[in-house]
């Protein structure tokens, strides 16, 4: 295509490993978020940074709501 050659590769084993990793990691992320919900933060920036670092790579799967007055957050998968 346009002078380039493309090679498609599909590995069922690799796909299975990725799905298993995802299914293991998502509940771990949720547990860690629950721990963070009980933590007191010094500033809103500290809270947002901690939550965002925990969600690294899973941001698109979690809807976050921040309460900056109460220094709390909630989430929904």
Q: Per-residue pLDDT tens for 29-74?
A: 999 999 998 888 888 899 999 999 999 888 889 899 998 888 889 8
Taking the CB of residue 48, how many other CB atoms lie within 10 A of it?
15
Contact 76, 62 (CB under 8 A): yes
Distances (CA, A) of 31 to 6, 10, 28, 49: 41, 33, 5, 17
pLDDT of residue 39: 85
Contact 71, 44 (CB under 8 A): yes
């Amino acid at each position: 295509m346009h002078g380039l050659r493309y090679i498609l590769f599909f590995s069922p084993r690799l796909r299975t490993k990725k799905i298993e990793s995802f299914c293991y990691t998502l509940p771990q992320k949720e547990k860690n978020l629950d721990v963070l919900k009980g933590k007191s933060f010094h500033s809103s920036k500290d809270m947002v940074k901690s939550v965002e670092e925990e969600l690294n790579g899973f941001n698109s799967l979690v809807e976050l709501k921040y309460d900056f007055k109460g220094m709390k957050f909630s989430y929904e998968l």
